[in-house]
Structure 1
């Protein structure tokens, strides 16, 4: 057995203890259950509970994933923002189907969401951009996300240039910045168990309404 294998097997996972998944009175929609779990995560001081993994597919059908922040949630739509010129922005333009994943280890909870992503338009993108911190706007205005960076000096020069633009026009925005909404059509709420008898509830959209069922661990 190699050292990496031994190292990984020595690490604990799902050590618990965890709260049980109360299934008797499940809400009608996944959005409602998500909010219940999110509030529980906040109450238990989970760090950055709004951090989530966005999974997309490129033009060749290869999956891609990265962690970003949940900006809002309305009903069963989950909002996030990005540059349209970024890798994820280009992938969503070609294929709007995507997935979101939340994982809160101290609670043993995982939430998986699947659906179709929609660009919310110019005004929504501009409003989200203005709500960002000054330095976040500075970086976004460089307009080179995901491109190769050859020299550090190029980055520093561009950042200084964008800071100057913002100082002259604090309300400046860019059409490259977009607010997206993923309209969920499938959701799974997973409660881990120390003995691996995990509880999984899947919501699925069928014939104009939400249904739910329990899945095997």
Structure 2
């Protein structure tokens, strides 16, 4: 059974032949600008849910888990905690969850995470790694109220988070398997 599955998996195509081109030499100095460019390209290409990403967290002892979430906002230059500009910042990448969920408990114990956006039809990934901070109760309540189906009911356990990256890596697949990586690091 395992050998049969292995052959079936190896027979599947990895990426389409008509992938976008990416030359890191032409990339902007700001990873937020490149992300927004790639995001707009994903929207124009009809990629389903281009704002969805996998969030990886871990417990204090290093047990890792991941799940899919939705990007709530990307503030390119503002510190959402204090409303001031961040020097050398890669922006504020916002997402939300309940504090009592597994990810909420893991972030409380170990406030570091990685986001991974994957746009298969374009052969593109963006990995964002950094420290996670709680946003205000007011911002969290507003985010909850803006959710479809919220119906005005408050959820005091709802939390808006922001990830402040120390690293952002862009990955462009190539049909010849010479994939391109472009990494920004603080």
TM-score above 0.5: yes
Question: SS at 1:88's partner residue?
Answer: helix
- The reply to whether residue 120 of structure 1 matches residue 135 of structure 2 is yes
Q: Which residue of 1 aligns with 2:25?
A: 24
C-alpha contact 1:16 1:108 (8 A) present in aligned 2: no
What is the CA deviation profile of residues 41-92 of structure 1, one whole-angstrom value per residue up to 9, with x for unaligned ones? 0011111100100000013211110011111100121111100000000000
Q: Which residue of 2 aligns with 1:14?
A: 15
Q: 2:185 aligns with which of 204, 207, 216?
A: 204
Q: Based on CA coordinates, which of the two structures has the bigger radius of gyration?
A: 1
Q: Which residue of 1 aligns with 2:83?
A: none
Greater share of residues in helix = 1
Q: Distance in 1 between matches of 2:16 and 2:139?
A: 42
Q: How many residues align?
A: 171
Q: 2:122 aligns with which of 104, 107, 119?
A: 107
What is the CA deviation profile of residues 157-199 of structure 1, one whole-angstrom value per residue up to 9, with x for unaligned ones? xxxxxxxxxxxxx433122000011011101001101111111
C-alpha contact 1:59 1:91 (8 A) present in aligned 2: yes
Q: Which residues in structure 2 correspond to 1:59-78 (within 5 Å)? A: 59-75=60-76, 76-78=91-93
Q: Distance in 2 between matches of 1:114 and 1:189?
A: 12
Q: Which residue of 2 aligns with 1:152?
A: none
Q: Distance in 1 between matches of 2:25 and 2:12?
A: 34
**Cα RMSD (Å) of the superposition?**
1.2
Displacement of 1:26? 1.8
TM-score using structure 2 length = 0.88
TM-score using structure 1 length = 0.76
Give the gaps of 5 or more residues in structure 1: 138-169, 206-217
Q: Distance in 1 between matches of 2:146 and 2:97?
A: 13
Q: Which residues in structure 2 correspond to 1:1-217 (within 5 Å)? A: 2-75=3-76, 76-134=91-149, 137=150, 170-205=151-186
Q: Distance in 2 between matches of 1:204 and 1:85?
A: 32
Q: Distance in 2 between matches of 1:16 and 1:47?
A: 20
Q: Which runs of 4+ in 1 moved over 6 A?
A: none
What is the CA deviation profile of residues 74-117 of structure 1, one whole-angstrom value per residue up to 9, with x for unaligned ones? 01211111000000000000111100001111111111110011
